[in-house]
Amino acid sequence: MKAHQVLSDCKHAYDLLEHETDPQSFRVLFVAAVTLCRAVGHVLYKVDACERPELAERIATWWRDVKSDVNGNRIFHGFIEQQRNLVLKEYKFSHDDSGQTLIVQPSAEWFTLDELVFCPIIDGEYSGEDCRDILAEAIHWWESQLRQIENV
């Protein structure tokens, strides 16, 4: 399926993002990764369903289920869809890439992590989680979804 190619490109953007230290490049790679992550579903529904008629009904049913089951597809609704909307429709970012993340150790010692070592999501369902960790979770979710669609 063509959706696999999109997911592969998303994984590549994620891999680049994992090691990025420049804030502007990080932002650009995050936009690319989030856009590609959401595009997997668009390509699956609009391209693969047409090119693979034997999967069309399964994809349509899958898509209805994903849209209707918010709790069961938390990563889609609370991250993939939300981040795509924030970034592409408003050019807003829900993660903190300022490099001002303060950490308190059990000894009550404060320190600041180097810039972009930890980019926590600052609001919403995944607040406090590193945006890259949640992106990795979204990628794994897509892998599972594509396997399920192809192997049913």
CB atoms within 10 A of CB 46: 12
Domain boundaries, the chain: 2-92+128-151
**What's the chain's length in residues?**
152
Residue 20: left (phi > 0), alpha (psi -120 to 50), or beta?
Answer: beta
Determine the Cα–Cα distance for residues 40 and 44; give it in Å rounded to an integer: 6
81/94 Cα distance (integer angstroms)? 13
Nearest to 75 by CA among 142, 148, 5, 152: 142
pLDDT in tens, 34-91: 999 999 999 999 999 999 999 999 999 999 999 999 999 999 999 999 999 999 999 9
Structure confidence by residue, pLDDT tens digits, 76-102: 999 999 999 999 999 998 876 555 444
What pTM does this model have? 0.87
Per DSSP, what are the bridge partners of residue 103?
A: 111
Where residue 117 falls among pLDDT bands split at 50, 70, 90?
confident
CB 34, CB 87: distance < 8 Å: yes
Question: What's the burial of 104, exposed, middle or buried (CB within 10 Å: 0-12/13-18/19+)?
Answer: exposed
